[in-house]
Amino acid sequence: LGRRGIWHDEVDSTNTLASEWARRGAPNGFLVAAGRQRGGRGRRGRVWFSPPEGLWFSLVLTRPLPLRRAPELTLLASVAVRRAIARVAEAAPDIKWPNDLLMKGRKVCGVLAEIRAEGELVEHAVVGIGINANIRHDAFPEELRDRATSILAMTGRQMPLALLCAEVCNQFDPLYRGLAETGEGFARVMDEWSDACVTLGQWVRVETPRGVVEGRALAVDESGALHMDGADGQRIVLHTGEVLFSH
């Protein structure tokens, strides 16, 4: 992954551009990276702050797996980025469900996977990764400063962006190949994901499309869904949401 690709100084969104490349037949693993994004996109239609000094890129994956297994891509990407940051910055971020990477409780990375499916087949997926690598903390807009941070702000280390990008691809590669083989390999990745996940075991309040729910976070399954024990003992399964607080 990432052996072929293109780098732009500035784009609207690397995910949008990578989807266009995918539709025009870009090969598997094609990388689209940018120095900055004018219209970086986050989950749930949010804007993703993408100034220079961050690492903004997307990978095209062609016919990666059946549609029902698509959530695995995001889980693998989080693990790959976590490993890459651990190696390059020598500090391993935590994972917050569904797919944020945090350092000391603040977000350093987000993953946005977008899928184009034909029936039960994924035609292509675009996995977009945004890492707040060398952004100074005071460069974040005020409303983000409590929630966001960068590797530089947390470790004092300047990240070589090309190296970090290459490391993410190198970590993602074997995990991605492992998807074709079933079973154990993925279970090990899920264990790694769960061990790094700060949400599990906590009492959490989660904003979902159907309202706010509260309970104890128990586990995440291979579809990325969060299993919780609700306040009055009922089991809750959430496929998407935003953890508002945990303790």
Applying CB under 6 A, which residues contact ligand BTN? 13-15, 37, 40-43, 46, 48, 50, 56-58, 100, 110-112, 128-130
Which amino acid appears at position 14 of this protein? T
42 among the known binding-site residues? yes
171 among the known binding-site residues? no
Q: Taking the complex as a whole, how short is the minimal distance between the CB of residue 114 and ligand BTN, in angstroms? A: 9
Q: Taking the complex as a whole, how short is the minimal distance between the CB of residue 219 and ligand BTN, in angstroms? A: 22
37 among the known binding-site residues? yes
216 among the known binding-site residues? no
Per the CB < 8 A criterion, the answer to whether 129 and 55 are in contact is yes
Judged by beta carbon, residue 37 or residue 246, the one nearer ligand BTN is 37
Instruction: Report the largest interatomic distance among the alpha carbons of the chain, rounded to a whole angstrom.
Output: 53
Judged by beta carbon, residue 101 or residue 189, the one nearer ligand BTN is 101
**SS3 of residue 245 by DSSP:** strand
**SS3 of residue 191 by DSSP:** helix
Of 123, 145, 156, 150, the closest CA to residue 134 belongs to: 150
Judged by beta carbon, residue 58 or residue 134, the one nearer ligand BTN is 58
Judged by beta carbon, residue 46 or residue 188, the one nearer ligand BTN is 46
Judged by beta carbon, residue 145 or residue 235, the one nearer ligand BTN is 145
Strand order through the sheet with 106-118: 5-11, 31-37, 55-62, 121-131, 106-118, 100-103, 94-96
Q: How far apart are CA 163 and CA 150, in angstroms?
A: 16
Residue whose entry in the numeric block shows the structure tokens 């072929």: 4
Q: Taking the complex as a whole, how short is the minimal distance between the CB of residue 109 and ligand BTN, in angstroms? A: 8
Q: Taking the complex as a whole, how short is the minimal distance between the CB of residue 235 and ligand BTN, in angstroms? A: 27
223 among the known binding-site residues? no
Per the CB < 8 A criterion, the answer to whether 12 and 38 are in contact is yes
Residue with CB nearest ligand BTN?
A: 110
Per the CB < 8 A criterion, the answer to whether 35 and 133 are in contact is no
As a whole number of Å, the end-to-end CA separation of the chain is 38
69 among the known binding-site residues? no
Residues of each annotated binding site for biotin: 13-15, 37, 41-43, 107
Residues of each annotated binding site: 13-15, 37, 41-43, 107
